């Protein structure tokens, strides 16, 4: 029998996830587990079965007459604005009134006594519409003359024409990168309980409670102070619950206020996947000029994205693709443009990396092109193009921010050695030279990822700490818990501040009642922002306690310090509870709100210049694969990862983020395929048809290490770095390794130009194309 | 005639008797909505994510057998006489964590936690069966559980370490086995059970003879064995299926017999139940069998269901057809036997009269000189529906191919043999040219469809390439080269 070690649970320690015991026993409560008050009703969405049409009307009589139906909600039932667009562009109605813009678009909601009754009734509507032509991918939509969904971005530096003119080599190409469904295990859900006057409380699964609050207020036509949004935890988010919950929260709240009864809405998995947005697919046209040593001279790229029918977050997502189209490489002359293309599909949204991964894919494809053109090891091409150290004039990004914290060289060199990349590559080439059915490939790819919301005003956070007079501590902050361990990390920060045991701190649900105007828990920013805000609150209370302790014992404040056994006051050591009790009796204020805003960042989008990122996180992965050239099937033999999280707040949780992100990134580029039919209907809409990685898809050998020597040079919380998104792009090493394995069938003479996701089918077809010499 | 109208079972530590159970009432909704046992989650409602995994204990050959199942597609009425064990029942009465739970906590095996109860239940079942599993056994046990957060690494480490936190001997289900066996024994029905409202009726026949009678009386009934497909008709398509005749409890549909020349398997035998017998008789099917769905579905789904269902992409028909299997159907009028390939007439159409049911399948054992292979190609290795599945059976005598059976799934509207490819081989010498011709002939045999699993082009190429693989794998003329395998390692 093993014993739990007693830990104080301070930072830089492997504190366990605060909900771990509840999760393994089934006692962790998710929104659908909350006990329903008597009279709770259930809503379900009725959706369109065409991709594009003029909407003439909907006959809902059969729906209303169905068993158990209490009400049907249409656009006419919305008391406030029929709009849930997260960026205020007013292009995303709760329910459309004039046109249908994608297959599966919600048109109305049924409210019934049971979820089953609502679901059955929702099928009975008769939609009167005139079908219009549709275009579902960015290329055919552009060809059909469909508009951009939001303003494109251009990043430019240097003189691109001159760069190409003087380059010794030039290659143009195109890469198609598929989208990705979030496939959080807990789907969307919202549960609204009406209150008195205009009030409503919404329990839901969202990364952005403040936005849900503002949207509910907006559709109800009430001030935000009438709406409370609560999130205890999510069963996964990954960006899919940053804006996509708006619809469900709105419907539940409208129903609850209209009927005066609690209303819950939970779509089934198929509806969740068809009616909510995903990662943007991209078609990227690139043009590179480079010298005979493989050094890039000039890059131009156009990034067209399938944005769907509304803007949602497509503006910032396509922006971030451009911000990461350099990955870790210096482009002397560069011009990058985005094409956020409107399409007749569900509106795509945030997903871990937020466009960044698609930018990085483009950079890595260009590296590949150069390597094949010059018959070089792609790793040598990568290294030749890394950003410099600030002394060589090679550290300016396409958005004119200088890379001042560059550690990619050291990360890659350490991994190159620990993974034994060179020797394995030689061995693999020798194996492939025998010309067998199975071919192997290895690739080592870097990642550099910019940390901060590019919408600068989002880089703020609040926290609230109460110390009760028994010495127990209540912690609240604006971030949400979706599995990443944010609450655990923030509690570690607070435990360390007060030098108290982790278990003394009660972590509570995120609620708009306690911390207002929060930002989405997104952009990997959760602990950077909320950790600092909580620390700020803790420091305020500490200062009051120090002041009280000094005064009460007649010592100077310098003589007071917090330690693990209590507060040292002169020569005394007073237990935390005792000092708190005394402070309370002396009427010391034991509650504080904390606040933080990221310093030194600014961004001028029109000019394409600024410092959008506070710092960068770095990492590298080396993956080896075997492919079967008869079927295109493959297996990941080994992956080695070295990843930078600065001084980790919690190495165990950070390692979990790195491992999970790698597998999710690998899934995006391998087996996860979104497939629409000619009618514009998504046919991969549940785990039976949409295949995320399983345990047996893990690399057969998986070595994951944090760069424990790294420390954030900026004043982040305990010098840590963000971890949510950056390691997602480590999965690209698997994609590149597959490409190398495919290339072997044509003796590495041809760049395989593999498309993503590299399903067994795409691998086989690439193999056969290369064998045919194309 | 009066029948028992109540469904009786054990739920964790409590005996339940329910009357008027709707045939389409799922176990998951019963647990979550009616019993408020909310530890069991709904992730997909189609048996593909495992968040709803619970254990079902049942009497099997006189012993008590516990297996993981997907509560989302399991119907409550099919659980008469069973013991349902949910996540809430794992930690002891004093709230102490179960060894599986403790291992998961210690190894940081949960992040968002939503899939976690399902993983814990799968690992619990594995630990009871194999307290010290290999990594491959853990992966096999987790084929039906999706996690989107962890990347699985910490869960695998936890699974390999469970035994450090406690041994199965002290586990409740083992310690109480005799009592539980007696309790379940007392819940076994005396005769037929009929329950549920007229429009959602469930019938549990007492024997196969009774089943034949039920079907004669209710020719429009839906026969449900493992509910791994019919479950989706209900949860996904809300299709009315009443009356439903459950057959999964019928012991006399569960016979497995090996004779001198054949292996016979009752239609109600699950994939898991016949795994050992199949692997023993047909070693080439061992790996293939483990790639049928995930563990939960293999514990529920039956070989009879996979056949009767008639799907063109079922995993077992191609490999059974290639082995020359026969299917026996039964009704009140008697039994009849036909070659399995003849059973599949067209898409959605099988040679089964409404009052008939699939009773058993008979698979001839390999003859001298027979070379068999089974292949499944899918987007994801495990728990995926095949893009192409194939069973090949070739008899070679004195270097000459004397008999050929090449059956494919995913290539046509039914599981189907490749007649032209067969013709290209039979009578020829065993040589690569013959197989090249056969592979080319596939294009004339089939016009496959394009869908989300694969394009027609890919299916056609792969089908031909599988024949090339078959040749390479079984060709001894070049001498074998262990350094140059022709198939990915498991």
Which uninterrupted H or E stretch holds A411? helix A408-418
Phi, psi of B326 (to 5 degrees): -120, 150
Collapsed DSSP state (helix, strand, coil) of residue A378? helix
Nearest neighbour of B152 by CB, restricted to A16, A187, A695:
A695
Please list every residue in chain A whose beta carbon sits closer than 8 Å to the beta carbon of residue B287: none
What's the rounded mean pLDDT across residues B208-225?
Answer: 97
Contact B176, B161 (CB under 8 A): no
- Give the closest of B149, B461, B487 to A628, CB-based: B487
Alpha helices in A594-730, H assignment, sequence order: 651-669
C-alpha span between B99 and B90 (Å, rounded):
9
pLDDT at B482: 63
Domain A20-25+460-597 has CATH 3.30.365.10: yes
Q: Where are the beta strands (DSSP E) in A291-330?
A: 296-308
Q: Among all residues of chain B, which has the CA nearest to that of A35?
A: B36
Q: What pLDDT does A4 receive?
A: 39
What is residue B390's three-state secondary structure? strand
**Residues counted in chain A:** 774
What is the reported pLDDT for A641? 98
Is B154 in contact with A659 (Cβ distance < 8 A)?
yes
pLDDT given for residue B480 in this prediction: 55
- Nearest-Cα distance to chain A for B112, in Å, is 3
CA–CA distance, A518 with A523 (Å, rounded to integer): 14
pLDDT mean over B387-411 = 97
| Mean pLDDT in consecutive groups of 10 residues from the start of chain A, 774 residues | 51 96 97 97 98 98 98 98 94 98 98 98 98 98 98 98 98 98 98 98 98 98 98 98 98 98 98 98 98 98 98 98 98 98 98 98 98 98 95 96 97 98 98 96 98 94 98 97 97 97 94 97 94 98 98 97 95 96 98 97 97 98 98 98 98 98 98 98 98 98 98 96 98 98 97 98 98 86
Contacting residues for A102 by C-beta, under 8 A, at least 6 apart: A48, A51, A52, A308, A309, A344, A345, A346, A347, A680
Alpha helices in A297-393 (DSSP H): 314-323, 356-374, 378-385
Measured between CA atoms, the residue of chain B closest to residue A703 is: B153
A530-562 core/surface letters (b: 16 or more CB in 10 A; e: else): bbbbbbbbbebbbebbbebbbeeeebeeebbeb
In what helix (H) or strand (E) does residue A590 lie, and over which residues does it extend? none
A vs B: CB pairs below 8 A? 265
- The torsion angles phi and psi of B387, rounded to 5 degrees, stand at -80, -45
Model confidence over A287-298: pLDDT tens digits?
999 999 999 999
CATH of domain B1-188: 3.10.20.30
Interface contact B465-A631, CB threshold 8 A: yes
In percent, how much of chain A has pLDDT > 70?
Answer: 99
Whether residue B122 has pLDDT greater than 70 = yes
Topology of domain B251-364 in CATH is 3.30.465
Measured between alpha carbons, how far is A96 from A321 in angstroms, rounded to an integer? 30
CB count in 10 Å sphere of residue A584: 17
Which residues of A are marked as active site? 725
| Cβ–Cβ < 8 Å for B300, B70 | yes
Residue B386, H or E segment: none
| Residues B111, B134 contacting (CB under 8 angstroms) | no
Q: Hey, of A18, A26, A122, which one would you mutate to test binding to chain B, going by the most B CBs within 10 A of its CB?
A: A26
Q: b/e map of A591-617 (b: 16 or more CB within 10 Å)?
A: ebbbebebeebebebeebbbbbbbbbb
Provide the pLDDT for residue B1. 58
CATH superfamily placement of domain B370-483: CO dehydrogenase flavoprotein, C-terminal domain (3.30.390.50)
pTM to 2 decimals?
0.98
Residues in B closer than 8 angstroms to A694, CB to CB, are: 139, 142-143, 146, 152, 380-383
Please write down the HEC assignment for all residues of A21-32: HHHHHCCCCCHH
Which of B102, B146, B149 lies at the smallest CB-CB distance from A483? B149
Asked if A353 contacts A736 with a C-beta cutoff of 8 angstroms, the reply is: no
The CATH class that applies to domain A282-454+604-773 reads alpha beta
Provide the β-strand partners of residue A55: A129
- What's phi and psi for B320, nearest 5 deg? -75, -40
CB B411 within 8 A of CB B388: yes
Cα A49 to Cα A91: distance, rounded to the nearest angstrom: 21
pLDDT digits (tens, 9 = 90+) for B452-467: 999 999 999 999 999 9
Helix (H, G, I), strand (E, B) or coil at B246: strand
Which of A179, A143, A519 is closest to A321 using CA atoms?
A179
Best of B114, B126, B290, B470 to disrupt the A interface by mutation (most A CBs within 10 Å)? Answer: B114
Contacts of B258 (CB under 8 A, 6+ apart): B264, B277, B280, B281
Kind of pairing between the strands at A505-507 and A473-477:
parallel
Q: Which residues of A touch B466 (CB under 8 A)?
A: 630-631
The ranges of chain A annotated as CATH 3.30.365.10 are 20-25+460-597, 48-133+188-266, 282-454+604-773
User: Which residues in chain A have Cβ-Cβ distances shorter than 8 Å to B380?
Assistant: 671, 691, 693-694, 697
CB contact under 8 Å between B110 and A183, yes or no, is no
- What tokens appear for A533 in the block? 């805000």
Give the Cα separation of A62 and B355 in Å (integer): 36
H-helix or E-strand containing A70?
Answer: strand A69-73
**Do the Cβ atoms of B380 and A697 come within 8 Å?**
yes
- The domain ranges of chain B are 1-188, 251-364, 370-483
Residues of B in contact with A185 (CB under 8 A): 41, 43, 49, 51, 112, 114-115, 146-148
Residues in chain B, overall count: 490
Does the structure show a pLDDT above 80 at B483? Answer: no
pLDDT band at B169, cuts 50/70/90? confident
**Taking the domain A48-133+188-266, which CATH number applies?**
3.30.365.10
pLDDT at site A183: 98
Alpha carbon dihedral B159, B160, B164, B165, in 10-degree steps, equals: 0
Residue of A652, A663, A760 with shortest CB distance to B377: A760
Tell me the nearest-neighbour CA distance from B183 into chain A, angstroms.
26
Sheet of B202-204: strands edge to edge? B193-195, B202-204, B244-246, B222-224
Kindly report, residue by residue over B13-29, the tens digit of the pLDDT: 999 999 999 999 999 99
User: What residues of B are in contact with residue A691 (Cβ under 8 Å)?
Assistant: 379-380, 384
Partner-chain contact A438 B38, CB within 8 Å? no
* Nearest CA among B152, B380, B383 for reference residue A757: B380
| Region class of B489: left (phi > 0), else alpha (psi between -120 and 50), else beta | beta
Across the interface, whether the CB atoms of B148 and A664 are under 8 A apart is answered yes
Q: Is the omega angle on the peptide bond into residue A757 within 30 degrees of 0, that is, cis?
A: yes
Q: Is the Cα torsion angle B222, B227, B230, B233 positive or negative in sign?
A: positive
Question: Using CA atoms, how far apart are residues B26 and B30, in angstroms rounded to an integer?
Answer: 6
Q: Characterize the bridge pairing of strands B344-346 and B244-246.
A: unpaired
Min Cα separation A724/chain B (Å): 11
């Amino acid at each position: 029998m093993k014993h739990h070690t007693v830990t104080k649970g301070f930072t830089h320690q492997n504190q366990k996830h605060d909900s771990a015991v509840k999760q393994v026993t089934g006692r962790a409560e998710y929104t659908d587990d909350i006990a329903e008050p008597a009279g709770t009703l259930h809503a379900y969405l009725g959706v369109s079965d065409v991709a594009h049409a003029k909407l003439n009307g909907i006959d809902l009589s059969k729906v209303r007459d169905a068993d158990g139906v209490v009400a049907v909600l249409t656009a006419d039932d919305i008391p406030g604005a029929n709009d849930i667009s997260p960026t205020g562009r007013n292009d995303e109605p709760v329910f459309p009134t004039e046109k249908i813009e994608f297959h599966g678009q919600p048109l109305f909601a049924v409210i019934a006594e049971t979820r089953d009754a609502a679901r059955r009734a929702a099928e009975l509507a008769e939609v009167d519409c005139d079908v219009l032509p549709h275009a579902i991918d960015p290329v055919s939509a552009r060809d059909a003359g469909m508009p951009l969904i939001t303003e494109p971005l251009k990043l430019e530096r240097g003189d691109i024409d001159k760069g190409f003119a003087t380059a010794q080599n030039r290659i143009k190409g195109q890469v198609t990168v598929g989208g990705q469904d979030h496939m959080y295990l807990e789907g969307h859900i919202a549960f609204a309980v009406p209150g008195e006057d205009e009030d409503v409380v919404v329990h839901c699964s969202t990364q952005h409670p403040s936005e849900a609050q503002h949207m509910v207020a907006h559709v109800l036509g009430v001030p935000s102070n009438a709406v409370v949004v609560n999130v205890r935890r999510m069963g996964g988010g990954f960006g899919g619950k940053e804006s996509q919950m708006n619809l469900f929260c709105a419907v539940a709240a409208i129903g609850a206020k209209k009927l005066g009864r609690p209303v819950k809405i939970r779509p089934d998995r198929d509806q969740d996947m068809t009616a909510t947005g995903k990662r943007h697919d991209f078609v990227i046209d690139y043009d590179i000029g480079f010298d005979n040593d493989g050094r890039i001279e000039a890059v131009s790229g156009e990034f067209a994205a399938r944005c769907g029918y509304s803007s949602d977050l497509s503006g910032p997502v396509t922006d971030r693709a451009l911000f990461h189209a350099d990955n870790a490489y210096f482009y002397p002359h560069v011009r990058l443009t985005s094409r956020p293309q409107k399409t007749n599909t569900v509106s795509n949204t945030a997903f871990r990396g937020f466009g960044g991964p698609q930018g990085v894919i483009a950079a890595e494809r260009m590296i590949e092109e150069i390597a094949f053109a010059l018959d070089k090891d792609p790793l040598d091409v990568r290294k030749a193009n890394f950003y410099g150290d600030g002394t060589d004039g090679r550290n300016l990004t396409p958005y004119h921010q200088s890379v001042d914290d560059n550690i990619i060289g050291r990360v890659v060199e350490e991994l190159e050695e620990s993974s034994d990349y060179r020797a394995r590559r030689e061995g693999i080439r020798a194996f492939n030279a025998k010309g067998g059915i199975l071919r192997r490939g290895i690739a080592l790819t870097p990642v550099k990822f910019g940390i901060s919301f590019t919408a600068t005003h989002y880089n703020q956070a609040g926290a609230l700490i109460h110390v009760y007079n028994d010495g127990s501590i209540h912690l609240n902050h604006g971030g949400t818990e979706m599995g990443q361990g944010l609450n655990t990390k923030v509690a570690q920060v607070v435990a360390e501040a007060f030098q108290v045991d982790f278990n003394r701190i009660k972590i509570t649900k995120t609620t708009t009642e306690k911390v207002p105007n929060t930002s989405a828990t997104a952009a990997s920013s959760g602990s950077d922002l909320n950790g600092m805000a909580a620390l700020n609150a803790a420091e305020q209370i500490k200062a009051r306690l120090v002041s009280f302790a000094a005064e009460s014992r007649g010592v100077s404040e310098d003589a007071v310090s917090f330690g693990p056994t209590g507060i040292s006051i002169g020569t005394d050591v007073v237990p935390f509870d005792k000092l708190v009790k005394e402070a309370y009796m002396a009427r010391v204020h034991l509650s504080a709100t904390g606040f933080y805003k990221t310093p030194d960042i600014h961004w001028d989008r029109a000019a394409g210049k600024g410092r959008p990122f506070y710092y960068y996180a770095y990492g590298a992965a080396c993956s080896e694969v075997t492919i079967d050239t008869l079927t295109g099937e493959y297996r990941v033999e080994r992956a080695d990862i070295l990843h930078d999280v600065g001084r980790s707040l919690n190495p165990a949780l950070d390692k979990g983020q790195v491992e999970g992100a790698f597998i999710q990134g690998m899934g995006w580029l391998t087996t996860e395929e979104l497939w629409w039919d000619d009618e514009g209907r998504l046919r991969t809409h549940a785990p039976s048809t949409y295949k995320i990685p399983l345990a047996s898809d893990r690399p057969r050998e998986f070595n994951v290490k944090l760069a424990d020597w790294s420390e954030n040079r900026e004043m982040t919380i305990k010098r840590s770095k963000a971890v949510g998104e950056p390691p997602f792009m480590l999965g690209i090493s698997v994609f590149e390794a597959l490409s190398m394995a495919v290339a072997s069938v044509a003796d590495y003479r041809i760049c395989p130009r593999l498309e993503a996701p590299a399903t067994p089918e795409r691998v086989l077809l690439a193999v056969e194309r290369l064998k045919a010499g194309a | 005639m009066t029948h028992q109208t109540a469904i009786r079972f054990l739920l964790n530590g409590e005996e339940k008797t329910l009357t008027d159970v709707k045939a389409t009432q799922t176990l998951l909704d019963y647990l979550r909505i009616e019993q408020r046992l909310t530890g069991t989650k709904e992730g997909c409602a189609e048996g593909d994510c495992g968040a709803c995994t619970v254990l079902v204990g049942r009497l099997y050959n006189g012993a008590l057998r516990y297996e993981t199942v997907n509560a989302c597609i399991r119907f409550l009425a099919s659980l008469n006489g069973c013991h349902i064990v949910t996540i809430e029942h794992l930690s002891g009465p004093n709230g102490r964590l179960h060894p599986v739970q403790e291992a998961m906590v210690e190894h940081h095996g949960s992040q968002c936690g939503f899939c976690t109860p399902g993983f814990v239940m799968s690992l619990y079942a594995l630990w009871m069966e194999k307290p010290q599993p290999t990594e491959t056994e853990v992966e096999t046990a987790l084929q039906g559980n999706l996690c989107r957060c962890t990347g699985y690494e910490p869960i695998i480490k936890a699974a390999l370490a469970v035994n450090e936190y406690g041994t199965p001997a002290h586990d409740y289900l083992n310690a109480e086995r005799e009592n539980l066996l007696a309790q379940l024994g007392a819940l076994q029905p005396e005769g037929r059970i009929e329950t549920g409202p007229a429009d959602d009726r469930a019938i549990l026949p007492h024997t196969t003879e009774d089943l034949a009678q039920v079907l004669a009386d209710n020719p429009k009934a839906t026969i449900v064995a493992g509910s791994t497909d019919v479950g989706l008709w209900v949860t996904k398509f809300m299709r009315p299926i009443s009356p439903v005749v459950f057959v999964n409890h019928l012991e006399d549909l569960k016979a497995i017999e090996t004779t001198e020349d054949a292996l016979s398997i009752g239609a109600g035998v699950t994939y898991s139940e016949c795994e050992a017998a199949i692997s023993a008789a047909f070693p080439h099917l061992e790996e293939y069998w483990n790639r049928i769905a995930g563990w939960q579905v293999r514990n529920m789904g039956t070989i009879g269901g996979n056949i009767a269902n008639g799907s063109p992409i079922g995993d077992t028909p191609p490999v059974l057809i290639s082995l020359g299997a026969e299917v026996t159907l039964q009704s009140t009028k008697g039994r009849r036997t036909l070659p399995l390939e003849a059973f599949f007439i067209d898409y959605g159409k099988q040679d089964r009269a409404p009052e008939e049911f699939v009773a058993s399948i008979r698979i001839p054992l390999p003859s001298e000189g027979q070379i068999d292979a089974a292949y499944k190609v899918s987007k994801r290795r495990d728990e995926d529906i095949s893009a192409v599945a194939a069973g090949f059976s070739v008899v070679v005598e004195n270097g000459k191919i004397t008999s050929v059976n090449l059956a494919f799934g995913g290539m046509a509207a039914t599981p189907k043999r490749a007649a032209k490819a067969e013709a290209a081989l039979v009578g020829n010498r065993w040589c690569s040219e013959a197989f090249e011709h056969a592979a080319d002939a596939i294009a004339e045999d089939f016009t496959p469809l394009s869908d989300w699993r694969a394009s027609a082009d890919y299916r056609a190429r792969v089908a031909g390439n599988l024949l090339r693989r078959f040749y390479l794998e079984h060709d001894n003329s070049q001498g074998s080269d262990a350094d140059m395998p022709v198939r990915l390692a498991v």
